[in-house]
Amino acid sequence: MTSSRRTVLVHLDTPATELTSSALELLTLARSLGRVEAVTLASPSLTTLAQLGAYGVELVRQAEPAEDLGPHAPHSTALVAEALARAADVSGAAVVLLASTFPNKESAARLAFLTGAGLVIDAAAIGVSDEGHVVGSKRVLAGSWDTSCEIVTDLAVLTVRANAVVPEPAEAAVETTVEGFAVVPSTLAKAGVPTSREVHEAEHGDGPARPALAEAAFVVAGGRGTFGDFTPVEDLADALGAAVGATRDCVDEGWIGHDAQIGQTGVTIAPRVYVGAGISGAPHHRGGMQASQVIVAVNNDPDCPLFEISDFAVVGDLHEVLPQAAERIREHRAQA
């Protein structure tokens, strides 16, 4: 199928407020694959509609369940999967894209099961083969292998990692309309709707709210070499507008919360820039950050294993290096 004929559905996580950077990335990717339509389980706000218009999306398909399932229904992974399956059927879509969050991965798996679709989780790039099939590329085995997965089924479902592309609006803005479509939830979907939901914002230190670790374009992480003092790490993060991360050792010591842990038993990240300070580079940590586009390591040990995979290595005390870097960054931004 040619890209001009292919319909690509993009699931929107936050339509009632405004679109996240991850959603804008999905829309950018989707335009390279075909005609883009958005799918929501809640009414899009005026801000969201303006963003969609700027990114070339003419149609939003809003799911309309046959019965009222409460305000938390859009967070039911089973209902999301059934709504996307119905939207794909109504639109004749060939591709469905979702941001790579934990709930979305579950929804994508359910969707693939319901429709018999090919599934790629955590794609870092998407292309099209010579035969016209969608190809999802990703790193596996703790970041040691790069793979490309060609989806040969009629429907391709992919969750896409944050920072896969730089969001870019369409060449010309369009008017976006909303069209409802009926969804009859299954007994399973109705049974899995949350009755309450509370969001806990992750924020470390006394600084301003920082981007979510899994989605951040810039990440500054601290390890055992901080000796529990994350002040330099947080200061550099705030200068960069970055998220704060940590190794498992720091979490085990109680120096920082588990939501900041990067690694095979924590959060897997792929930022544009990763700064690791006082981190040796144990395999379980490397497995969670090795897909970063640019890796900067700061360590006073010249034989630090993290240096082996770093694009830039600084041998020095992080408590001296990071404050200097933060100061220079602030000076540069003040002059810009």
Query: According to the model, what pLDDT value does residue 205 have?
Result: 46
State pLDDT tens for residues 281-306.
Answer: 999 999 899 989 999 999 999 999 99
- Cβ neighbours, 10 Å, residue 288: 24
3-state per-residue secondary structure call for 101-158: CHHHHHHHHHHHHHHCCEEEEEECEEEECCCCCEEEEEEECCCCEEEEEEECCCCEEE
285 is in an annotated binding site: yes
44 labelled as ligand-binding? no
Q: Report the alpha-carbon distance of residue 67 to residue 112 in Å, rounded.
A: 24
Q: Which fold has domain 7-191?
A: Rossmann fold (3.40.50)
pLDDT for position 2: 60
Which pLDDT value is given to residue 131?
A: 94
- The reported pLDDT for the residue numbered 206 is 47
Q: Is the distance from CB of 50 to CB of 78 less than 8 angstroms? A: no
The answer to whether the annotation marks 264 as part of a ligand binding site is yes
Q: How many residues does the chain have?
A: 336
Residue 335 marked in a binding site: no
Residue 121 marked as a ligand binder: no
CATH 3.40.50.1220 fits 218-335, yes or no: yes
Query: Would you say 262 is a known binding-site residue?
Result: yes
Positions in the chain short of pLDDT 70: 1-4, 142-143, 200-208
**Is 279 within any annotated ligand binding site?**
yes
**261 labeled binding residue:** yes
Which residue's structure tokens are 């060609």?
Answer: 150
Burial annotation 16-27 (CB, 10 A radius, 16+ → b, else e): eeebbbbbbbbb
Identify whether the C-beta of residue 182 lies closer than 8 Å to the C-beta of residue 66: yes
In angstroms, rounded to a whole number, what is the distance separating the alpha carbons of residues 85 and 146? 30
Tell me: is residue 280 an annotated ligand-binding position: yes
Domain ranges of the chain: 7-191, 218-335
